[in-house]
Amino acid sequence: MIYKNNESKDIKRYKKGYIILTCLCLFSLLRVLPGIVSAEEVKHRARIAVLPFENISGQYVSIDDVMKPIYQKLDEIFILSSYEAVDEVILQLRLRHTGFLSSQEALDICHSLGVDAVILGMICVYQEIPEPRIGLIMKMIGTGEGAPILWMKSNIMSGDQTQTWFGRNRIRKIDDLFNKVVKDMVKDIPIDFFKEG
């Protein structure tokens, strides 16, 4: 009888562990599935050229470091032209400012790279001390007549704006704040412009 009770306990423990493991696997799968892109979705993803952002903050900023999180976030939504291809077109067209483009310059970039739109922007505020503070302007220009602005957004945020009760979750590093600003801006880019109707 004692043997049977022990066996019963072991079986119950095994079943409980199996259920927990199954739930964890299902939870992990649900988190991964949204990130899986089907062939049909890839087919309809827009091709975008991202220009190096213009720094008008008055502070020294490493543009390569700044552009890294921007490229990473945009790459989740669009098919991006390579840095080399974009740089080559900037040199060919002799663009002095990548934060300000005429309609013709935007169209020339789009046609040269074979993209659906170009994204450009400016770093307006870049402050590390005493409190990290970031200000960005981003806009997307299409290939339609007159190179229409498809989307535009500005965002200024400081580290103390992110804190909750008793200073929790306050962002104290400028890199972390920059990533948050970029994430908040990119999630609002409408992709309906590029869906085939």
d(CA 116, CA 81): 11
CATH of domain 42-191: 3.40.50.10610
pTM: 0.69
How many Cβ atoms are within 10 Å of 153's Cβ, its own excluded?
A: 15
Q: Which residue has the tokens 């990290």?
A: 132
Surface-to-core class of residue 151, CB atoms within 10 Å of its CB (0-12 exposed, 13-18 middle, 19+ buried): middle
pLDDT band of 74, cuts 50, 70, 90: very high
Instruction: Name the least confident of 10-19, 50-59, 159-168, 180-189.
Output: 10-19
Would you list the domain boundaries of the chain? 1-36, 42-191
d(CA 101, CA 87): 15
Please write the tens of the pLDDT for every residue from 110-158. 999 999 999 999 988 888 777 788 888 999 998 877 788 889 888 888 7
Instruction: Tell me the β-bridge partners of 148.
Output: none
Please write the tens of the pLDDT for every residue from 17-40. 555 555 544 444 444 334 433 334
